[in-house]
Chain A
Amino acid sequence: MTHDVPSRDSHNPITSTGIDRAAFMERVRNALGPAERDTDPHTHPHPKPPNVDETIARLAGLEQNLADLFAGKAQEVGMTVHRAHADEAASRLASLLVELEIRSVTLCLSKTESAAALTQAVRDTGCDIVDWRDSPNLDAHYDVDAGITDVDAALAESGTLIVSSDPHHSRGAFLVPPIHIAIVAAADILPDMIDYFSEREAPAHHTPPTATVFITGPSKTADIEGILITGVHGPKQVHILLIDTPPLP
């Protein structure tokens, strides 16, 4: 197939595979034109972008019951929420594994206080914990029944789970197995995306993780005649074990 998009470029030096940074930026600068800008990049290299006006963009605030709001929104987008007190979380996880007939898992737990107890609970059900480290192409996650992860944070406004990669957290556990079980502590829940991003402005977060994913529901498609199907590539089911501090209703 021949390529019929005409090249509109004639004045820039072109290497066989693209142009260099300076030439590319020059094209952009030329296109912008010098006269129209309110700041000159040389004398004033820090233009001020509009702020995110919270009175417009905020959808959830601290005045709400975050655990309830989160659970409700998560269910709206097709995830299943199981709520438990901190002291019964391990047994609730074990019973969930039995209920869903899960016999093998990949596990990424380190952030919640109860990580050790939860890991032990998984082991006690006789479930095989598969080592996912250094398996090429996320291979280890393909043949397990579920991936179990904790989260960086969760968003009440949309029922979103936020997970990130690090030495203890795989990029595959929440994506590849047919079931994802997320452990969310009530303290992980932030009202709004605005709160998540403003927390990330702190110096500790200046270098973001290599991969962060906002998960809002099970893998979905409506490409065939607009009919909603879950589990098109990723998990068919997302279960959230929401660990509430007492009192529970």
Chain B
Amino acid sequence: MTSTQTHSGERKPGEHPLNPKLPFDIKPRIKAAVADTHLRQSVKTATESKDRNRADAFRETFGPRYDQMRDLAGRIKQHTLDHLDVYLERFVDQATEAGVQVHYAADAEQANAICTAIARDNGCTRCVKSKSMVTEETRLVPALEAIGVETIETDLGEFILQLDGDAPSHIVTPMIHKDRRSVARAFQRELGAPYTEDPEQLTMIAREYLRQKYRQADLGISGANFLIAQTGTIVICTNEGNAGFTVHGPRIHIALAGIEKIIPKRSHLSVFLKLLARSSTSQPLTVYTTFITGPRREGEHDGPEQVHLILVDNGRTEILARSTRELLRCIRCGACLNTCPVFCTVGGGHAYGAIYSGPIGSAITPLFKGLENYPDLPHVCSLCGACAAVCPVKIDLPRHLIRLRREMVTDRITSRRDRLGYRAWATLLKRLPLYLVITTIQRYLFRALGKTGAKRGGFNDRRWIANLPGKVGGWTRERDLPTPTSSGFRTWWKTHHKKRMQPRR
């Protein structure tokens, strides 16, 4: 395959999975994801094993210090964000001194424009690119291909997705929703490779193909995991080594980075590197952690002639506001996705309709793209708190989702009908006599509906409702609804509370 159109041209007609028509309606995608048993099973297996391995890795290495470690990481990030202007200025000074050409993009369009201008000015036609979430945000690849620069994603997962015209479904393992057969078909169709379902052979096909591309490339594009203010260094973490080929080989290297990637000093990496790979893939470190401080220097015999860094805002300065600043601590490890019961069930189907999925996606997508455009995301969460418990920089994700839910009501994004419902509910909870009347009626009504189930003795004399009528029937389609107990909580509390409160001898 040599033509530049092949890559972007294969995309199926219809909406882009991560850039849907707005406002985004999540229901059809949830339905589709839940209906696909095979996909659901493979995503569940993958995320559950990652989550378990992460927990094991931290228990083994940090033991009881795990929580303090997360706390330290969170504090360093929060400090950096609180003084982001100072650290950004310092980073730019240092990077510039090292010979990096720094550019500033207020939004996605500008980031792409800067990138295409650099490519055009230097006559670049063949680009190899390593994984970068910010380039997914800006949709850089189509922008480069539009000016005739062949752009190849080199992360194996991203490469396969590119061949298939598909989009990533997980920030760390982008191809979590695809199996070996779809890879085999893509390689056969797009690369003319013999059909094989052996993952090792498939990987070797990609290796040979991509090695040709590395040798021919005149432009390498990467993201960044960290930017060190003290030295002006760009840090990139990969397991495959593709970022190395991308940044060391071609004569021009362009890195794109969100402004939140800054950390103050090199020594802070002792905290972040130890947390990042363990949180993502339970490794002590990613196989390659690459530090770039400027282009090739006098006397060196390889390395790029130019290194460009594009600092990208694209909505981040709005998240920098006090109430949401914490969200910019995120180091994109994916631990919250792997531990989230909702993501584990629907995550494979691009259900979140945005670049960032899972709990962190639900919290930041409405901020990037407008709450009115993603009204469902704050609600695809049971507030179980698992994400906050694993976040290596201690972002309190449930709190942010609750805040978004509140904003939906105050900003009247929630429908009038629902708002009335909430208001009635609040009124009810605030007036005890009314509450007692209503709950008593409700108890009798529900117990009358409860048909199945036997007395289990003691307090637990509840029955089960197998089918609720009308719209609420959705709840009982997959499970039974337990009825209230015969006596009610208040009665129970009164007797037990009294017993407890009696003075002991």
Residues of A within 8 A of B (CB): 1, 3-9, 12, 14, 16-21, 23-25, 27-33, 36-39, 41, 45-47, 49-50, 52-53, 55-57, 59, 73, 77, 132-139, 142, 157-160, 165-167, 170-172, 175-176, 192-194, 197-198, 200-201, 206-227, 229, 231-235
Contact B106 A19 (CB under 8 A): yes
Contact B270 A193 (CB under 8 A): yes
Residue of A24, A57, A165 touching B302 (CB-CB under 8 A):
A165
A233–B270 Cα distance when bound, in Å, is 27
Nearest opposing residue in chain B for A28, CB measure: B85
Contact A229 B102 (CB under 8 A): no
A33–B106 Cα distance when bound, in Å, is 18
Contact A220 B287 (CB under 8 A): yes
Contact B114 A5 (CB under 8 A): no
Residue of A18, A37, A207 touching B114 (CB-CB under 8 A):
A18
Contact A208 B233 (CB under 8 A): yes
Q: Which A residues lie within 8 Å of B85 (CB)?
A: 25, 28-29, 32, 41
Contact B113 A17 (CB under 8 A): yes
Residue of A8, A218, A229 touching B318 (CB-CB under 8 A):
A8
Q: Which B residues lie within 8 Å of A21 (CB)?
A: 92, 102, 104
B210 close to chain A: CB less than 8 A? yes
The number of A-B residue pairs with CB atoms under 8 Å apart is 322
Name 8 interchain pairs, CB-CB below 8 A, sorted by A: A24-B106, A31-B321, A137-B216, A210-B295, A211-B293, A215-B287, A222-B281, A226-B173
Contact A137 B215 (CB under 8 A): yes
Nearest first, the 6 A-B pairs at minimum CB distance are A234-B241, A223-B157, A24-B104, A171-B248, A214-B289, A31-B317
For window 66-100 of B, CB contacts with A under 8 Å fall at 68-69, 72, 75-76, 79-80, 82-86, 88-89, 92, 98
Contact A134 B83 (CB under 8 A): no
A7–B8 Cα distance when bound, in Å, is 24
Distance between B233 CB and nearest chain A CB, rounded to angstroms: 6
A157–B278 Cα distance when bound, in Å, is 14
Residues of B within 8 A of A (CB): 8, 16, 19, 22, 42, 45-46, 49, 61, 65, 68-69, 72, 75-76, 79-80, 82-86, 88-89, 92, 98, 102-114, 117, 137-139, 142-143, 154-157, 160, 173-175, 179-180, 183, 199-200, 202-204, 206-207, 210-211, 214-217, 231, 233, 239-242, 244-245, 247-251, 259, 264-271, 273-274, 281, 283-297, 299-303, 310-311, 313-315, 317-318, 320-322, 369-370
Residue of A47, A209, A225, A235 touching B179 (CB-CB under 8 A):
A225
A45–B231 Cα distance when bound, in Å, is 17
Contact B245 A210 (CB under 8 A): no
Contact B79 A47 (CB under 8 A): yes
Contact A213 B290 (CB under 8 A): yes
A214–B313 Cα distance when bound, in Å, is 29
Contact A45 B86 (CB under 8 A): yes
A201–B269 Cα distance when bound, in Å, is 13
Contact residues of A: prevailing secondary structure: loop
Contact B301 A8 (CB under 8 A): no
A88–B345 Cα distance when bound, in Å, is 57
Q: Which A residues lie within 8 Å of B210 (CB)?
A: 233
A175–B249 Cα distance when bound, in Å, is 11
Contact A14 B239 (CB under 8 A): no
Nearest opposing residue in chain B for A198, CB measure: B267
Contact A49 B293 (CB under 8 A): no
A155–B246 Cα distance when bound, in Å, is 25
Contact B160 A223 (CB under 8 A): yes
Q: Which A residues lie within 8 Å of B370 (CB)?
A: 6
Contact A39 B83 (CB under 8 A): yes
Contact A224 B202 (CB under 8 A): yes
Nearest opposing residue in chain B for A5, CB measure: B108
A166–B303 Cα distance when bound, in Å, is 10
If A1-B16, A171-B248, A225-B179 touch, does A213 touch B76 (CB 8 Å cutoff)?
Answer: no
Nearest opposing residue in chain A for B269, CB measure: A197
Contact A210 B217 (CB under 8 A): no
Contact B248 A211 (CB under 8 A): yes
Q: Which B residues lie within 8 Å of A159 (CB)?
A: 284
A56–B58 Cα distance when bound, in Å, is 13
Contact A216 B317 (CB under 8 A): no
Contact A224 B300 (CB under 8 A): no
A165–B183 Cα distance when bound, in Å, is 36
Q: Which B residues lie within 8 Å of A30 (CB)?
A: 317
Q: Which A residues lie within 8 Å of B61 (CB)?
A: 59
A25–B311 Cα distance when bound, in Å, is 11
Residue of B175, B273, B288 touching A223 (CB-CB under 8 A):
B175
A248–B273 Cα distance when bound, in Å, is 32
Contact B287 A170 (CB under 8 A): no
A133–B105 Cα distance when bound, in Å, is 36
Q: Which B residues lie within 8 Å of A19 (CB)?
A: 104-106, 110
Nearest opposing residue in chain B for A208, CB measure: B293
Nearest opposing residue in chain B for A35, CB measure: B322
Contact A171 B302 (CB under 8 A): yes
Contact B72 A57 (CB under 8 A): yes
Q: Which B residues lie within 8 Å of A210 (CB)?
A: 98, 292-297, 300, 303
A167–B137 Cα distance when bound, in Å, is 38
Q: Which B residues lie within 8 Å of A38 (CB)?
A: 82
Q: Which B residues lie within 8 Å of A37 (CB)?
A: 82-83
Q: Which A residues lie within 8 Å of B112 (CB)?
A: 3
Contact B215 A139 (CB under 8 A): yes
Residue of A4, A8, A18, A59 touching B274 (CB-CB under 8 A):
A59
Distance between B150 CB and nearest chain A CB, rounded to angstroms: 15
A8–B321 Cα distance when bound, in Å, is 15
